[in-house]
Amino acid sequence: MSTSRRTNRAGVALIAALVTLTIVSTLLVAIALQSTNARRQLDRRHDQLQAAWLAQSGIELAIARLASDPNYKGETLELVPHSQVRITVTTEDNKKPRVRIVSEARYPTNDRKPVQLTATVLR
């Protein structure tokens, strides 16, 4: 075999290896980006669920406090680390007096975009 033929085959093999390496690298980058995005979505969903539970906890806490103190008007709490729950209790005088309880939850408070949810109950 001549030297030029070997050089041509080696050149073709090198180009094929580079194309294969480029395709594999592109696929790995796409998988890594997809995995990172899925993790972010999972973290956001976790924060949403935590904020929902915190808002509901604020409602239940207000009901318990109202049972022991009818003059309870609300408070702001940190029920779990990096959270904020603001409870507001107001009395509405229509035909019969009713109490409106609003619980606003923020989680996590140390994040740039915390999840904010509000739960309201009329009793």
Mean pLDDT of the chain: 92
pLDDT at 107: 96
d(CA 24, CA 39) in angstroms, rounded, equals 23
What is the value of pTM for the model shown?
A: 0.76
Q: Give the phi and the psi of residue 23 in degrees, each rounded to 5.
A: -65, -45
User: Residue 85, SS3?
Assistant: strand
Select the highest-mean-pLDDT range: 9-13, 32-36, 111-115: 32-36
Q: How far is CA 109 from CA 33, 87, 94, 105, in A?
A: 27, 16, 37, 10
- What mean pLDDT do residues 25-42 have? 97
